[in-house]
Structure 1
Amino acid sequence: MTVRAVLRRVVVGVLETNCWILHAHGDRRALIVDPGDEPGRVLDAVAHLDVVAVLLTHAHFDHVLAVPEVVEALGVPVLAHPADQPVWPHEIATARRTGHWDAGTATADILARDPARLAFAGDTRLWDGVSVPIADGQILQVGPLPVRALHTPGHTPGGLSLAVDSHLLTGDTLFPGGPGLTGPPLSEFAVVIRSVRRLLGFPGATRIHPGHGPDTTVATELPHLDEWIARGW
């Protein structure tokens, strides 16, 4: 019998990050993907479920800020790819130096409109960076639901995507309209394009659920790959 995946999106934080709740239809065991902020809302979303773990597609601030509270409340491990270990320390060091989180190309606009939304408070409770390593191709069993982890670097060195049922959770590797942001020091455009090619090799009907914004499909995005390569971002 086919096990059907159920996905729920909880949009959190200054960058409207998609935190995903994933479980099998008819089963209470669940995985939280990218609890980026607003831990109370994340916990409310899983109040009727038995969470087995928190998984991070990558360790940028807008995907991890709620980790301490969520993990403490639920008593579950954090899963991440080991190649992302340098990312969170770099995020914290940058925020301490500048006084605000780095929101990429959105930083200047947010700081101009409402700087408090990105402000780094020295007394903020932060994730300690401890995680259980997840390898490329590893199957995570969420109740009866098999979830395959894919190492999709480029946006960060240890970027993870998840393949489950007819769905891909792509973090910030792939969005409608192209790959996630790249640039020094911990990301690279050529690498993210290799990851995007891998994701776009899935069947056309596969639904893509990114780390921000609306969903799309493989069939919708695949025809534009050469355009993205030519523009260089």
Structure 2
Amino acid sequence: MIKVKKIISGGLEENCYAVYDSESLRAAIIDPGEDGKKVIFEIEKDKLKPELLINTHAHYDHVLSDDQIRFEFKIPLAIHKYEAQMLARDYGSGSGSIGFTVNVREPEILLEDNQKVELSFTTFKVMQTPGHTKGSICLLFDGFLITGDTLFAGTIGRTDFDGGSYEEILNSLFKIKKLNPSLVIYPGHGSSTTLANEIRHNPYLR
């Protein structure tokens, strides 16, 4: 059975997710955030065996511990091709305003819209959902959607950062709205929800 473990990482309370198989304990880590030590502790506590690290986008609060996680578990990093160049840039990571530079090594895997990624224990589809950033992606698994900072419970991600676009995020939300409403939504910050609930109550999806 595929399960999702949430690990709140860093000062902005970013949601890192470990998607894993309850029998084999093989796992994928999504958006480890700033607190790599906490993520590693939680992964090792449950004896999970990561095989891939994925970023939904390249803002610092989602990617700061990427290299620490890659080194610890010896796994590759996957990110949308439009985000890859942002990993080492202040303006792209959103870090310039807080006084430090994010410098994540180049990803091993570049993702594209509609790409199907096969892990040893499950498969997911990449949905490019620009608006928060140009290369923001959602990850569509069987029964749930990891939305990064595109869609939150009751609201949406900011569009005033470099590469953001309000028009594009509305188009991305329209794409999401066409999915199965029974999907559980796991956002980059805050609590989980369902697509049906967001269609009913989120003003940006009405």
Q: Note whether the superposition's TM-score is higher than 0.5.
A: yes
Match of 2:82 in 1: 83
* Residue 156, structure 1, aligned to residue 133, structure 2: yes
* Residue 39, structure 1, aligned to residue 39, structure 2: no
Among 196, 210, 214, the residue aligned to 2:191: 214
Match of 1:12 in 2: 9
Q: CA deviation at 1:86?
A: 4.2
Tell whether the 8 Å contact from 1:60 to 1:91 is kept in structure 2 after alignment.
no
User: Residues 101-180 of structure 1 correspond to what in structure 2 (within 5 A)?
Assistant: 119-120=99-100, 126-180=103-157
Q: CA deviation at 1:177?
A: 1.4
Distance (Å, rounded) in 1 between the aligned partners of 2:33 and 2:43: 15
Match of 2:175 in 1: 198
Q: CA deviation at 1:206?
A: 0.8
String of CA shifts for 1:152-172, please: whole Å, max 9, x gaps.
111011111111111000000
Distance (Å, rounded) in 2 between the aligned partners of 1:55 and 1:64: 9
Match of 2:159 in 1: 182
Distance (Å, rounded) in 1 between the aligned partners of 2:152 and 2:37: 27
Tell whether the 8 Å contact from 2:125 to 2:140 is kept in structure 1 after alignment.
yes
Distance (Å, rounded) in 2 between the aligned partners of 1:42 and 1:81: 22
Which amino acid letter does the alignment assign opposite residue 65 of structure 1? L
* RMSD of Structure 2 on Structure 1 (CA): 2.1
Distance (Å, rounded) in 2 between the aligned partners of 1:160 and 1:76: 20
Computing the radius of gyration from Cα coordinates, the structure with the larger value is: 1
Tell me the percent identity. 27
Q: Any unmatched runs of 5+ in structure 2?
A: none
Q: CA deviation at 1:142?
A: 2.4
Distance (Å, rounded) in 2 between the aligned partners of 1:94 and 1:12: 16
Distance (Å, rounded) in 1 between the aligned partners of 2:141 and 2:173: 17
* Residue 228, structure 1, aligned to residue 200, structure 2: no
Match of 2:51 in 1: 52
Distance (Å, rounded) in 1 between the aligned partners of 2:147 and 2:199: 15
Question: Residues 78 and 176 from structure 1, CA distance in 2 versus in 1: closer, same or farther, beyond 3 angstroms?
Answer: same
TM-score (norm 2): 0.89
Secondary structure of the 1:203 match is: coil
Distance (Å, rounded) in 2 between the aligned partners of 1:94 and 1:176: 22
* Residue 23, structure 1, aligned to residue 40, structure 2: no
Question: Residues 167 and 38 from structure 1, CA distance in 2 versus in 1: closer, same or farther, beyond 3 angstroms?
Answer: same
Question: Residues 63 and 143 from structure 1, CA distance in 2 versus in 1: closer, same or farther, beyond 3 angstroms?
Answer: same
Distance (Å, rounded) in 1 between the aligned partners of 2:132 and 2:93: 19
Secondary structure of the 2:204 match is: helix
Question: Residues 95 and 170 from structure 1, CA distance in 2 versus in 1: closer, same or farther, beyond 3 angstroms?
Answer: closer
User: Which of the pair is proportionally richer in helix?
Assistant: 1
